[in-house]
Structure 1
Amino acid sequence: MQRFILGKKNQIALMSGILIVLGFFSHFVLENTTLFNVSFVIASIFGAAPIAIQAYQALKVKVVSIDVLVTTAVIGAFFIQNYEEAAIVTFLFLFGSYLEQRTLNKTRSAIKELTEMAPESAWKKGESGEFEEVDVDEVDEGDILLVKTGAKVPVDGTVIIGGGHINEASITGESVPVNKVIDSRVFAGTILENGTIQIRADRVGEDTTFGKIIELVEEAQDSKSEAERFIDRFSQYYTPAVLVLALIVWLFSRNLELAITILVLGCPGALVIGVPVSNVAGIGNGARNGILLKGSEVINDFSKVDTMVFDKTGTLTVGNPEAAESEYYGENRKAALGYLASVEGESDHPLAKAVLKDIGETTVYTVEETEVVKGGGIVAKVNGHRVAVGNVALMAKENIALSEKAKEDVKRFEENGDSLVLTAIDGKLEVLTGIRDQIRPGMRVELQRFKKLGVKNLVVLSGDNQGTVDLVARELGLTEAHGHMLPEDKSAYIKKIQAEGRIVAFVGDGVNDSPSLALADIGIAMGSGTDVAIETSDVVLMNSNFSHLSHALGLTKATARNMKQNNTIAVGVVLVLLASVFFSEWMNMTIGMLVHEGSILVVILNGIRLLRYRLRGTQSITEAKIETAEIA
């Protein structure tokens, strides 16, 4: 019965409202006092039923909730036969609850939209070679799927046949379609706008990037910040205190109506709802723009960041480096390049890809006894030779002496802003390659936005040589630049500045920098939603567009301000109402409850503003991408 009544709260509120209208009609038009009283008594009983049930359930777990205050007030109103106010108070309370839930559902629209984007079916290749439509839950890893124009990609996979343009807005927040060819990765929930492709399923169900995004956003919206936890604790003591205050007032004044009025006016409804609605709206705005904010606590910490530390490659730079210049020191250049290509073929590092692209077609040998030296490079056995490929530190570790010319070349390459790849074969330096990456377009402007948002220190940490890092820092106007940094060096640096009292955000690729991402107050992963990025960081940018990062920082600051505004409104209303009881003659239960519900609506509407938040002085993310596409 309790579940049934609570499930019909909205209908009860409507019936209560109709009875109240009937009561006033019978009083002012029909002048029928009996019908007037009967209407308000029934409205009071109907309206009080779900509130009393909620109060009972709260008391069972030893919580004195707002429902307890209202139920006590209604019982008191019945005792003094003030049926009119009892009916209006219960109606306003139920109607306020309805508006609160309806508006909260609107703030959760981002996750609802994401869920609706989830694919429900797929065209799966059967044993006969024909494709048949099946439920997406029936797709397994390794299955071959057909995706037609206008259809949603059902799983994370790899294109094996065909090509086309895919709208990846559900993953990255970008509305401009991305061209997909054979061997391109595709993500569940994205839409093939033109073309026809066949894909191999790599990840299915909840394991897809889209599935993880939904899970993370749901968890984030349900999480509680320290502010919310404080308000929960505050409410546990506040509501009993209001009961005690009402009892004291009654004992001294013997005015039961005054005591009941205090119970109603003391309801902290807006205070309880103000912070959650801000958090939910802020997280929803981020989700719509390809920004995953992992919970309310992240919003609070990110809004206070004063130091941002960046990895260089793939973060401040495009992450697609190319060989700029090379020097050779041995007699057999062809063999040296073959050994170099063989070793670099074992690595997925951007520098390795740049070297391979520069070498082009060459003889490749079997690589044996590969040893990855963290922060240094790779040492391996190739065709009977010991080959070391890496930076200057690796050469020193391998006891490889550099000639005077080689030292001069290293210095010159560094001054030119090159990342160095040195290749030694059997203890002798054979090849020096300078790799150069391009700084992201518009990066300096974006970094200035961070300063305007209150970030005082902009720092770059890189495993690259100091000359290259200094060049990037000068061009971008960074406050500090540190090169030759191993992963453990980056972590040590973050610990050091945290000990100085700084609140640190680290921005990296989510793979090599995972220790720093975990250690920083806020870890921010750039990239298209890699597993490590999603698991390790606090904020995930589903692509590497830096305008998303400034938007995320501005959004968290706006959300934190919104929370404070809502708390100020909520506390202010309660103080004004309680003061008016003692210093005015016009305050009563009905007016108090009406003002309370109005304040709840105000804080909800204030929170909803965050759904439309956009960093001042910038285009919307969608507008910027369309403009970029038109220029291209």
Structure 2
Amino acid sequence: MIDEITDFLFGLKMTIISGIFLLIAIIFMIFGVETPIYLNPAWGTVIISGIPMLLLAMTRLIREKWISSALLIAIAMVASLLIGEVFAAGEVAWIMALGALLEDWTVERAKKGLKNLIDLTPQTARLTNGDIIPASEVKLGDNIRILPGENIPVDGEIIKGTSSIDQSVMTGESLPIDKTVGDEVFCGTTNMFGAIDIKATSLAEDSSLQKLIDLVKAADEKQAPTQRIADKWATWLVPVALIIAIAAWLVTGNIERGVTVLVVFCPCALILATPTAIMAAIGQATKHGVLIKSGEALEKLGALNTLIFDKTGTLTYGNLVVSDIVKYGISEEELLSITASCESLSEHPLAKAIVNKAKNDNVSISDVNNFKMNPGLGVSCEINSDKIYAGNLKFINENGISADIGEDLDKFKNEGKATVIVGKNNDVVGIIALSDMIREDAPQMINALHDIKTKTVLLTGDNTQAANYFASKVGIGEVHGNLLPEEKLDWIEKFQENGGNVCMVGDGVNDAPALKTANVSVAMGSMGSDVAIEAADIALLGDEISKIPYLKNLSNSTLFTIKANIVMSMAINAAAIICSVLGLLNPVTGAIVHNAGSCLVVLNAALLYDRNFDKTSKKAQHNHYHTHDDGEHSHSHENVEIIDAIQTENGIRHLHAHTHSMERHVCENYHN
């Protein structure tokens, strides 16, 4: 009941009415209208804004055993009333109510991204039989139809139709993503074009969107270290204020000076300094597709001097593609055709990548006979009476085929690429190399980190030669290869022992131990990987690695704002206290000075929400989608460097400790 009354009287409407009473009192003072003290209009302000302040202070003191800033405000208000300063009492109460409204306004603006997520949560779902049911009643396996322009009600898999899906709410991607049968779609995203049917793979309460909403809400509830310090300061400042106020009264013999000290000493600006800045920064990050789980993570990020990166799926896309085709005695098209035909019956990731390459290049894929798979070695078949072999060097040699291709194999191995050697009858006719693509904004991101004096390190399970080749392409200075997951963790601990404040950036799957050990961890938060979001302090929802410098700049600015707010609030209070003791301020003017400082702190923190920290990211994002050449558009992936990786069918990479990494397992045991 008390909480309801407090919330009502602290609301916008009642605060406006309270302000009107105070304005009338000011008008009376300006025009010299004399009224009995009990008819002073400021009493309306005291009742509307002062009573909830008094109730809040008593509730915290009695129920929560908390000496809060509200207690000092209440004491100052009561002391002002006791000496007949009704206007001062009303002004203290009203300006503090206004400060609370400003704080709420800042928090609400910071939560704008969260509200947008909640608003996008669909309330109904259309089954394929035409029935429309509440989204909360959708069951696993239900078939749902989504028409163009509609939001997807639950996570699902497309079973019919093709379309483009706007996933910006989940990933921050500015362009729609083409989807077809078998592709995943996520709750809250928008179907842009064709009608599609999906099979529900999650309940509404377990959807990707709901998990995102829950994580953003959880971030609001975690206080930052600076915020806890400010709360402690507020606790001991209250008794100090009482001591100084009593001393000023006793020494000067003027109780008004003691009351003025109470008015100006309130640490509201100090308490507002951190939470408003943290909330504004988290809100800013949310609207840029970055999920920061706590204020503590945001603060720690600003103190980092070392960023450690995983490779596959972090600095690379994690999508295996054909990077090189080396032919011996036949055309490139024929080599790709016979290899894709032979690999078309294989489920191996390398085989799938080769087949995809052939399909994308419109290269014919023939039917084969006598297909045979040799695990860990390769595959063989017959095409038009020709015997075709595709596999590693051991497999080729075991089938009586020899060739002088060691130089080419060594080159690809040093570049970290997996290879498929292709034999036709008794001759080697070519090599197909496969690898992962470097994110085109990775080199720019690394350079941006170096510009702000941040050390970069690569920890990977790849062999050292491949790791060094990769590092040279993106500009990372320190490299450690051939690492097991536990060895990555050991390296992070070494950096920490040497005084490093370490941030680990990984995909959140095989890097989970390292992510948990680092001072701060950032995961590539692709919605297909729940581990990525749950394991790290920060998740890049759109997997935009270019956001790392943005986060560092945001954290630095947030810490600067917090410290500036604290210094500013303390300086204003200190000056006001001295002026109060000297009699230069009275309760009325003291309230104006003190609460103006509180409002200034809140407004300064609010500026973080709309400040631009993302110039580098926006430039990289633009280059990601289009490059321009004489007015023609070309996809920037055509110009990216290629590095090794392997990806399982469902897109989640798994690290095998006994072979150091899946990449090495494939490269060494299957093709090299």
State the TM-score, normalizing by the size of structure 2: 0.79
- In the TM superposition, residue 547 of structure 1 has moved relative to its aligned partner by 2.1
Matches within 5 A, 1:494-573: 494-529=492-527, 530-573=529-572
- In the TM superposition, residue 357 of structure 1 has moved relative to its aligned partner by 5.3
Find out whether 1:169 has 2:172 as its counterpart. Answer: no
| Counterpart residue number, 1:485 | 483
| Counterpart residue number, 2:347 | 345
- In the TM superposition, residue 178 of structure 1 has moved relative to its aligned partner by 0.9
Alignment: residue pair count:
592
Q: CA-to-partner distance for each residue in 1:161-215, whole Å, 9 max, x for gaps?
A: 1111111111011221111111111111111121111111111223211111111
Deviates more, 1:504-513 or 1:189-198: 504-513
Measured at CA, do residues 405 and 85 of structure 1 come closer, stay the same or move farther in structure 2, by a change above 3 Å?
same
> Quick one: which of 1, 6, 18 aligns to 2:20?
18
| Counterpart residue number, 1:91 | 94
Q: CA-to-partner distance for each residue in 1:322-368, whole Å, 9 max, x for gaps?
A: 3436899xxxxxxxx99x96997377xxx575467579886799999
Q: CA-to-partner distance for each residue in 1:505-539, whole Å, 9 max, x for gaps?
A: 22222212222222222222125121110111111
| Counterpart residue number, 2:642 | none
SS where residue 145 of structure 1 aligns?
A: strand
Contact 2:141/2:201, CA 8 A, preserved across alignment = yes
Deviates more, 1:609-618 or 1:204-213: 609-618
The letter for the 1-side match of 2:477 is T
State the Cα RMSD in Å.
3.8
Contact 1:342/1:365, CA 8 A, preserved across alignment = no
SS where residue 292 of structure 1 aligns?
A: strand
* Cα distance in 1, alignment partners of residues 456 and 256 from structure 2: 61
| Counterpart residue number, 1:582 | 581
| Counterpart residue number, 1:5 | 5
> Quick one: which of 29, 32, 35 aligns to 1:33?
35
Measured at CA, do residues 497 and 18 of structure 1 come closer, stay the same or move farther in structure 2, by a change above 3 Å?
closer
| Counterpart residue number, 2:254 | 255
The letter for the 2-side match of 1:489 is E
The letter for the 2-side match of 1:289 is H
Measured at CA, do residues 95 and 461 of structure 1 come closer, stay the same or move farther in structure 2, by a change above 3 Å?
closer
Deviates more, 1:189-198 or 1:13-22: 13-22
| Counterpart residue number, 1:452 | 451
* Cα distance in 2, alignment partners of residues 629 and 192 from structure 1: 27
Matches within 5 A, 1:302-341: 302-323=301-322, 324=324
The letter for the 2-side match of 1:113 is N
| Counterpart residue number, 2:626 | 628
* Cα distance in 2, alignment partners of residues 134 and 469 from structure 1: 53
The letter for the 2-side match of 1:207 is D
The letter for the 1-side match of 2:450 is K
| Counterpart residue number, 2:300 | 301
State the TM-score, normalizing by the size of structure 1: 0.83
Q: CA-to-partner distance for each residue in 1:242-296, whole Å, 9 max, x for gaps?
A: 1122223223333211111111111111110111111111111111111111111
Structure 2 gaps of 5+ residues are: 329-338, 359-364, 381-389, 396-401, 423-429, 635-672
| Counterpart residue number, 1:79 | 82
Measured at CA, do residues 627 and 407 of structure 1 come closer, stay the same or move farther in structure 2, by a change above 3 Å?
closer
Contact 1:48/1:71, CA 8 A, preserved across alignment = yes
Deviates more, 1:312-321 or 1:54-63: 312-321
Deviates more, 1:316-325 or 1:61-70: 316-325
Measured at CA, do residues 343 and 316 of structure 1 come closer, stay the same or move farther in structure 2, by a change above 3 Å?
farther
The letter for the 2-side match of 1:486 is L
Contact 1:24/1:36, CA 8 A, preserved across alignment = no
Measured at CA, do residues 586 and 30 of structure 1 come closer, stay the same or move farther in structure 2, by a change above 3 Å?
closer
* Cα distance in 2, alignment partners of residues 36 and 562 from structure 1: 44
The letter for the 1-side match of 2:87 is E
| Counterpart residue number, 2:185 | 186
Contact 2:245/2:259, CA 8 A, preserved across alignment = yes
Matches within 5 A, 1:137-536: 137-323=136-322, 324=324, 345=347, 353-354=352-353, 411-419=410-418, 434-455=433-454, 457-529=455-527, 530-536=529-535
* Cα distance in 1, alignment partners of residues 242 and 314 from structure 2: 56
| Counterpart residue number, 1:122 | 125
SS where residue 304 of structure 2 aligns?
A: coil
- In the TM superposition, residue 41 of structure 1 has moved relative to its aligned partner by 4.1
| Counterpart residue number, 1:103 | 106
SS where residue 438 of structure 2 aligns?
A: coil
* Cα distance in 2, alignment partners of residues 626 and 307 from structure 1: 26
SS where residue 313 of structure 1 aligns?
A: coil
Give me the identity figure in percent. 28
- In the TM superposition, residue 93 of structure 1 has moved relative to its aligned partner by 2.2
* Cα distance in 2, alignment partners of residues 606 and 21 from structure 1: 26
SS where residue 160 of structure 2 aligns?
A: strand
| Counterpart residue number, 2:65 | 62
- In the TM superposition, residue 142 of structure 1 has moved relative to its aligned partner by 0.8
| Counterpart residue number, 2:659 | none
* Cα distance in 2, alignment partners of residues 54 and 476 from structure 1: 56
- In the TM superposition, residue 139 of structure 1 has moved relative to its aligned partner by 0.5
Structure 1 gaps of 5+ residues are: 329-336, 371-377, 383-388, 396-402, 424-430
| Counterpart residue number, 1:600 | 598
Measured at CA, do residues 111 and 181 of structure 1 come closer, stay the same or move farther in structure 2, by a change above 3 Å?
same
SS where residue 438 of structure 1 aligns?
A: strand
- In the TM superposition, residue 612 of structure 1 has moved relative to its aligned partner by 1.8
